[in-house]
Structure formats: C-alpha cells, structure tokens
Structure 1
C-alpha cells in the first residue's frame, strides 16, 4: 500500500503524519515534482523507522549537492613552545548552509633556538612568515579554492603548488634584483696590494697559512640553504585542512581517506607503523658538553601494541632517572626537561648516555639489541664549524669528517644495539657517507633528512629518509615522496612543533609507513599523537582490518637487507 493509502486510514489525532501530508501537498504545489516526495514517503512507510524525521533528513541529504568550499580562514595561533604558527580553517556549503569543517596547523620553518645568538631576529622572521601565510589564506588562496569540492585533493594541491611556485619565482627575481643592485659599482675600487708588499711578508707565516688552509680547501663548500618563501606554511596547512574536511564530509577517518588517495581504492587492511620514541636528548640545548647526539631514539620490537610500547618505554625512562639520581659518576647529573619531550642529560662523551640505557635495560629485564634497538639522531649538519672544517662533537672537542667516521664506527662496534644513524654528516661530505657505509656494512642503517632535498641526488649508503610535513608540503607531496622513497620515516614532531595536532598519526597510517617518529613521551602536544595512534589501532582491530604484524620482521625491515615480500590484501 502506498503512503496515500496509509494516510487515508490514519486517525486525525496523529498530527505528525498530518503535518507530513500538508508539507507534501505544499511541496507539490511549489515545486511541481511530487514524485520525489512520493518516493521518499513510500520508502519511509516500508522501512518503518523509529526516527521518522531523521530518516527523511538522511534521505534528502543524499539527494543534496556535494559539499563545496565556501571560504578559508587563516589565523595566527601559538604553538606548544609559545611560537607563532599558522592555522587554516575550511568552511563548506553543506545542505545549502555554510558550516565550519576542519582546521590544520603546520610549522612555518624551524623555530629559533633560544641558545642561538640571533634567536630574537629569527623569532621576528618567523612572525613575518606567519603573518604572510595568514594573508595568503584569507586573500588569494580563499578566492582560488572557493567552489572547489574538498574531495578533489589532487586538484586542490595542484592549485596550491602552482600558486606557491609563482610566489617562489617572484621571490627569486626579487633576490636577484637586490643582488645586482648590491654588486653595482657605487664605491671606488680599492687598488690591489703591490707584489712588493706581498713579498715582504714573513715566509714562515705564509707557509703556515698554506698548511692551515689546506683542510679548508679540501672541505666541500656548504650547499646554499633552501630558500624559505615567507608564507609557505599556508600551503601545507590548507592542504591538510582540505584533506581533513574531505574525510569529515565522507564520514570516514582521515587515515582511511589518505589510504584511498594513495592506493586509488580503500585498502582491505592497514597496519600501525612502528613508533620511534625519543629516549634522551644530548644536543646543543642539553645542559652537558656533548653536542653529537641530539636524540637517542628507541626502536621497539615490531608487533607490539602501541599502549604496550608506551608502558615499556616509560618504565625504562623511570629506571634511567633512578640511576642518574643515585649515580655519583662525573657528568651524570639530574636530567632536565627538553623540547623534544625527552629528558636532556648532561654528559661529555657519547658513550655515557648509551651506557646509561644499557644499564637501565639490564635492570628492567629488557634485552637491548633483541627486544629493543636504538637509533642516534646525530644532527651532523648543525655541528660543522666551517671556519675550522671540523665537527664540534662536544664543547671544545673538534673532529674532522674522517675522524668522525672513526668515532661512529667505534660506537657501532661497541654498541651493536645501535642500528641507525640519522644525519651523521652534512650532505656535502659525500666521501664520508660512503666511507662510513662501507665500514659498518649491514649492521647499521644511514638515514638522511629528505624534507628540503626531495630532488637532491641520493647519498651513498642511505637506506631511509626522514620526512617532515612543513612549509609548502602538500598531502599529495607526501603521497608521492613516500611512494618514490621506500623506507621513509615521517617525523611528526620537532622541537618547534606547532600545536597538539594529532593528524600526523592518521597521515602515517594512511601512507602505509613502517615507521613514524612522534617524539618523546612528555607534553600534551606529543601524547595527543600517541593517544590518536592507540585509537586508530583499536578501530582497525575492531573492524578486523588490522594487518597481521607477522610480516613485519625483527629487526625492523628498514634496518636490515632481507627483501620483504609484498603484503597481500587478504
């Protein structure tokens, strides 16, 4: 029986159905398309839902136009360390109404360290970058993306990248013009010294100068820093906000949306990346003299649940704190808090923090080198003293590139649990990368930061890359780079992390990465990411689509040479 027949037999006191009948008649009169209402009401009475109006609302929502971006809003917000960063918010027209959908924050550029002499100037530069990013979002980017469907991530990112490239070319033209103006002959030229005056110099001092300059001449010149275009963080923030909006309009998690973007279809199974956890910090910002090891990172055994891994790591850190508090050894002072979310210890030699971890593992019953492994984030490029051609591994302790190779080989030989070195040298020291790789063989993997050098030639011996989502990096860029560079590790946190953004966990899962670095286990902005990873793992397990960890070998596949078979979709 149709809804007309049903309505004719309904008592008058059922006012809800009477109102529906009157509304339908009015709709017929105004629109002239009674078949839509008739079909909806026929289905309504056949399903007999408990929520009549909710059923009709869902029915007509499915008939409405797909969401479109109506406007963008960019604003300056403060990050975890009080630094300014940009937040992009996306508004969409949904069911004929404008709704605030999703927002995202992306770091503008590496935040200035308070220990650097020019940190005030760099803070001002960062503020200018964030202000420009807000102007981009509220102005040209808003006009450019208005009317775009948020689900077309590739098209949106293409527009964003084209806009950025145009600004990059403008910035380069401006710099070239300023360079030409500065090089114009506006001042009288100073005549060169006469040969006679040069010959009167002390021969011994000249010879000494030649010897001292030999190392500098053999030292490869530093690559020019990648230009950071003011406002570039607007690109990454808008791209991520659009991706989150698309996931929200589809009613799916962000990781599922990114996985579908990467594989073109929703994958049958997803796995949780192994979380690389920062255990200790010993870099320039630490209270000790040791500069070399910016971070000592724990690599847990593959196959553990995230919550299990966090519990184990926290217990290990408590034991390390107990040892340091009770120790009377030189340099083993109480740990201080650090921006990386891990204790910053005061040591003088790289062996000291590694000995501490080994002792804590033995006391905790953890088999170092079996249950857990270690990675050392050396931050080599930051340690180079170009005037002397050496790396300052500790305050007052300088090592030539070749001497640093020997130091690394000694550490790896003494501590076999160390299975990865991150950025042990500058990119320019290609010979040392190759020498170290040949010396350590398969016992340890070399990783380099790919964030600013995606198109740079590969370094010899590098088996994995560190990738950060900053600046103009779009979601499409992340998908492309991780597809081209197997063994990528997404670094979802730095000392200048913008805010408590948990999207990095979704991104890592959606990209299908084997590893993700979320920082230490301290601070709300980092624990938010770990908690999100726990939630994703629970969701996948409940849905029965959590990939079996049996195919994730141990040691983790990035850190040994055995080839992996592709994981089946079954």
Structure 2
C-alpha cells in the first residue's frame, strides 16, 4: 500500500478545516457556546449527584416547543360492542415523534353493535367512517405544526371546521329541498282540551286544572353525528398537553381554566343511578328515567360507591322476594342500575326507602335522592300532555302538582332533572317557587350549552358529546357561574375515563356517570377514587359545601345557577 501524497494530506486538512469552520459557525448561529457555558456554571453551583440527569433536564427545558405532526382516526369497540371513533395525536418533541395519547368519545347517534346480524352493521355506520376520514384527512392537515399545549388554539381550529361543515350541510339540505315538489300542508286543529270540571281521559277523575295547549317545541339544531371527531381530537390533544407538561390531566385542565396553578382541589360528589324506569322499562311508568343516589358531603368516593352497591343488593333482594311493590321482574342494565316493572312513581321510591331502613341508612341525612324525569321525551303533542305512565296523561300544571306531592311525601328528593320541557317556563318557575330550597330543578344542556337561563332552574347538567371541545366545556363552566355537574347520558357510556379528570379539573360540584355496572362506567369511578387518594396524599384535597344539600332552613332558594 502506497503512502499518502503531500497533496492528499493537504486536501484532507482543508476538508477538516472547512468542517471545523462550518461547525463553529453553526454553534455561533445557534448560541451553543453561551448555552454550554451557562449549563456548566449552573451544574457547578448545583453539584447534583446525577450529573447527566441534571444536564438532560436542563437541555430539555431549552428544546423547541412540541408540534403536532399528524392525527390518526380509527374504529374501536366499546364494552357494549358499539363502534366508536378514537383519535390519536402524533407530535414531535426533542426531535422524536411520539404518540402517547388517544381519546374516544361517543356520539348521540344510534350505534351499531356486533350483536346485530346484518353484515352491513359490522362495517360501522357512515358517520363513524366519515369522522375517521375527517380526523386522518382535513383535521390532521389543519393541526400540523400546532402546539399540542395550545388547547384554545387547537379547539378554535376544530370549531371553525365544524361550523364550515354545518354550513355546507345546510346548503345541501336547502338545495335538495328546493328541487323536491312542494307538498300542500293541511292546517291541523289544536288538540281538544277538556273543560274544567270534566273527567280527564287518563284516570277518569275530575281535573281541577284547565289544560292549556302546549307551546311548540323550539326546533333543534341539526346534529352532525360525524362531529364526534371534534370532541375526540380535542380531548386527545388535552391528554397530550398534560403528558408533555408532566402533570395529571385534571391539574392540566384546571390550569387551562384558571390560567394559574391551583393549590387545592375538591372531588365532585358522585350521583349514582340506583334504579332505572322510564319508557324503555317493562312497566307502565314512563316518568322517572332513573332514581339517583347522592351521598352526603365529605364522604369519600369509595364509601359512596360501597353504600350504593349495598343498597342495590338489598333492593334486588327485595324485588325478587317481595310482592308489596307489585314488581314482576328485575334485571341489571349495562348502562348502570337495576331496572324493574313499575306502574307508579311512588313504587321505586318506596323500594329505596325500605332498603335504606333495612340497612340503617338514614335517607335524607346520610344519603339523598335525585330524579331524572326526562320529561321532554314524554310529550304527546296530539293530546297536548305528558304521558307519565302508559295511558296516563298530565298537563304541565298537573305535572307540577304531581311533583309537589312526590317532594312532600319523599323529602329526601333534593333534585329533579328535566321535570318539564324548556318551553314550559311558567311551570319551571311555579314548581321552583313552591319547593324553594327543598328541591332544586336542573336542566340538561348537553346539546345546548348556551341555552338561555330558565326561571326557577338552580343547576345544569353538562355532558361531553359530539362537537363539544374541552374549551367549550371550560367556557360553559365560566358562563354558568355556580355549582357545576358533569353528566353522562343515562342511555350511553364511553370508555374514556378522562371524564373523571375533566370533572375534577373543572371544579364540578357533582358528577353523574351512571350505575354500578359495566366496565366503562366503573373505570370512571375507579379513576375518581384514584384522584381523590392522590390529592389526599399530597395534602391538596379539600371538601366543598354542597350547594344542593344546604343545611340551612329550607326556604325559597336564591336565583343562582349551578351546572352538573
């Protein structure tokens, strides 16, 4: 092998010199010498035991802000075999692409289950496929290079995209309607109203109240079921931000809301479904969709769940052996709580009263009750009344009397959810004036977060569905000052346990996840227990007085609003 020539050595020296010059320029342009000098100076002053660990943490703080690189949407199955959408966020941090967060939020649309025999259902509804296309396509492109820690900026992009989709859908709908032949509408006469003193059709008894025709229901805003893409992406981005900041999601959400780090947190009181009735149950009773247990303030979540579980066991035992309640059969639904055949609203309340007595639980002291009436679902517009039970119709004013009698007979009932339609504002106010502080009226605004305040309403139920972003929920909690309750729709569940973090981080007074059955629901309760134990260990847990369970004399309530 021949020795290198002088000219070859000179050429290599020139290349090395160029590299050194280029490196020096690169370091100078990026301020590397100054950074290294400051790092070494601080290292010497601190003199940590783990030198490399200290330097790694020091330089990590100087890294460029993380940025989203892409989104991925995919179909996943819930514990009920329902097809739902999961959004996954990929982002660059410290020159590496990571994916450590995903979120799945259920839609309000009917879902397809694996139990159905139709092969078409196995491929999932069209709105699920469209939502996945939105996530992996336009939403992914719009969010590229966005900082996942900029929640409000990301949610603004999502909301703008949603509004443009709604406008497009409305345009197409109007265009199609204009092409269809117009149908002649025949005016319909208002429903016949029995005169005062005549027998009503429901029970054949004399009615002391003039039945008035129901005002028309306000038209609902069109729902894009594909919009579950927005809520899934928003929650996934929030989880990414929490991981990047190295804090639990509930603390991250709290910082977003208050714009500062809170030193104390309270865990919302769980509202646990004890028994389900409603139109889908076997009996004639339609009015009470669910009866909910509320534990007293300052009771740990684990104790509340244990008490509810023992009550449910006792109730099931009584249902199976008792003929007093007139119940033919009972079963436990996946969405939570036993369901049984009832004909009158007093029957489930009597069952719970007897079960509490058997277990030495003081109803009205240790625990309280809330009734989810779901009255808007019970309106028979052809008759202008609410169908409280099969064949039993009540006018809005008659329904006021029914609620007054229930509250008087069962003083442990401290809250009614949706006792009327929103259009029956007069009855909301009338019932509130007669019950005062004894019972709070709550309105479910899950699908109408900016709905006007109703007279007599003292609280609101707010859920996280469809196009609702994390920023939307934060704004809603600020808009409706007072007590806040986060609710899950009684007929639907979702595997996203992060809702427990949202409830704590946003400072909700109460949380409603359903009954004590189903893996998805129990996962939320378990997460709530974990958060409570973590806060207690850190000395950050405080107990907040319950605005619905005031120990003051039950006088007329002040007109303050609360959200659940």
Deviation at 1:75, TM superposition (A): 1.1
Distance 2:550 2:478 in 1: 19
Whether 1:302 and 2:300 are equivalent positions in the alignment is: no
SS in 2 for 1:248: helix
Q: Deviations over 1:113-167 (max 9, x none)?
A: 99xxxxx9x9899822221111111111111111011111111111111111111
Equivalent in 329, 337, 349 of residue 354 of structure 1: 349
Query: Larger deviation: 60-69 or 232-241?
Result: 60-69
- Determine the structure 2 residue equivalent to 1:73: 72
Go from structure 1 to structure 2 and tell me whether the alpha carbon gap of 1:102 and 1:351 turns closer, same or farther (over 3 Å shift): same
Residue correspondence of structure 1 range 127-276 to structure 2 within 5 A: 127-184=125-182, 218-276=213-271
Whether 1:282 and 2:282 are equivalent positions in the alignment is: no
- Determine the structure 2 residue equivalent to 1:101: 100
SS in 2 for 1:357: helix
SS in 2 for 1:403: helix
Distance 1:236 1:207 in 2: 43
SS in 2 for 1:447: strand
Deviation at 1:411, TM superposition (A): 0.8
Deviation at 1:41, TM superposition (A): 5.4
Whether 1:88 and 2:87 are equivalent positions in the alignment is: yes
- TM-score when scaled to structure 1? 0.83
Deviation at 1:211, TM superposition (A): 6.0
Q: 1:81–1:496: 8 Å Cα contact kept in structure 2?
A: no
Residue correspondence of structure 1 range 7-86 to structure 2 within 5 A: 31=27, 33-34=32-33, 36-37=35-36, 40=39, 51-86=50-85
Go from structure 1 to structure 2 and tell me whether the alpha carbon gap of 1:91 and 1:556 turns closer, same or farther (over 3 Å shift): farther
Query: Larger deviation: 42-51 or 247-256?
Result: 42-51
Query: Larger deviation: 104-113 or 59-68?
Result: 104-113
Distance 1:564 1:547 in 2: 26
Q: Deviations over 1:512-568 (max 9, x none)?
A: 11111121111110111111111111111121111244x446725999867799xxx
Distance 1:266 1:30 in 2: 38
- Determine the structure 1 residue equivalent to 2:323: 328
Distance 1:165 1:376 in 2: 35
Deviation at 1:402, TM superposition (A): 2.4
Q: Deviations over 1:73-119 (max 9, x none)?
A: 111212232222111111110110100021111122243699xxxxx
- Specify which structure has the higher proportion of helix: 1
Q: Deviations over 1:440-486 (max 9, x none)?
A: 23321111111222333222211111101001111111111111113
Please, which runs of 5 or more residues in structure 1 have no aligned partner?
1-25, 115-119, 193-205, 566-570
Deviation at 1:291, TM superposition (A): 1.4
Q: Deviations over 1:392-443 (max 9, x none)?
A: 2222322222222221111111111111111111222223223322332332
Q: 2:82–2:111: 8 Å Cα contact kept in structure 1?
A: no
- Determine the structure 2 residue equivalent to 1:7: none
Whether 1:292 and 2:254 are equivalent positions in the alignment is: no
SS in 2 for 1:101: coil
- Determine the structure 2 residue equivalent to 1:18: none
Q: Deviations over 1:155-182 (max 9, x none)?
A: 1111111111111111111222222222
Go from structure 1 to structure 2 and tell me whether the alpha carbon gap of 1:125 and 1:396 turns closer, same or farther (over 3 Å shift): farther
Whether 1:432 and 2:427 are equivalent positions in the alignment is: yes
Query: Larger deviation: 44-53 or 513-522?
Result: 44-53
Go from structure 1 to structure 2 and tell me whether the alpha carbon gap of 1:207 and 1:99 turns closer, same or farther (over 3 Å shift): closer
- Determine the structure 1 residue equivalent to 2:549: 555
RMSD: 3.5
Go from structure 1 to structure 2 and tell me whether the alpha carbon gap of 1:564 and 1:453 turns closer, same or farther (over 3 Å shift): closer
Q: 1:492–1:517: 8 Å Cα contact kept in structure 2?
A: yes
- Determine the structure 1 residue equivalent to 2:487: 491
Go from structure 1 to structure 2 and tell me whether the alpha carbon gap of 1:83 and 1:405 turns closer, same or farther (over 3 Å shift): same
Equivalent in 519, 523, 529 of residue 534 of structure 1: 529
Deviation at 1:389, TM superposition (A): 2.0
Query: Larger deviation: 342-351 or 551-560?
Result: 551-560
SS in 2 for 1:505: helix
Q: 2:436–2:556: 8 Å Cα contact kept in structure 1?
A: no
Distance 1:207 1:213 in 2: 17
Q: 2:325–2:347: 8 Å Cα contact kept in structure 1?
A: no
SS in 2 for 1:309: helix
SS in 2 for 1:161: helix
Q: 2:193–2:213: 8 Å Cα contact kept in structure 1?
A: no
Q: Deviations over 1:272-323 (max 9, x none)?
A: 1111111110112222221111110011101111111111111111111222
Distance 1:255 1:216 in 2: 49
SS in 1 for 2:331: coil
Go from structure 1 to structure 2 and tell me whether the alpha carbon gap of 1:311 and 1:174 turns closer, same or farther (over 3 Å shift): same
Distance 1:182 1:283 in 2: 39
Distance 2:399 2:240 in 1: 48
Distance 2:94 2:218 in 1: 52
Go from structure 1 to structure 2 and tell me whether the alpha carbon gap of 1:183 and 1:435 turns closer, same or farther (over 3 Å shift): farther
Q: 1:303–1:552: 8 Å Cα contact kept in structure 2?
A: no
Distance 2:226 2:274 in 1: 34
Q: 1:277–1:297: 8 Å Cα contact kept in structure 2?
A: yes
- Determine the structure 1 residue equivalent to 2:13: none
- Determine the structure 2 residue equivalent to 1:19: none
- Determine the structure 2 residue equivalent to 1:12: none
SS in 2 for 1:108: coil
Deviation at 1:350, TM superposition (A): 0.7
Distance 1:361 1:127 in 2: 44
Go from structure 1 to structure 2 and tell me whether the alpha carbon gap of 1:480 and 1:309 turns closer, same or farther (over 3 Å shift): same
SS in 1 for 2:274: strand
Go from structure 1 to structure 2 and tell me whether the alpha carbon gap of 1:359 and 1:491 turns closer, same or farther (over 3 Å shift): same
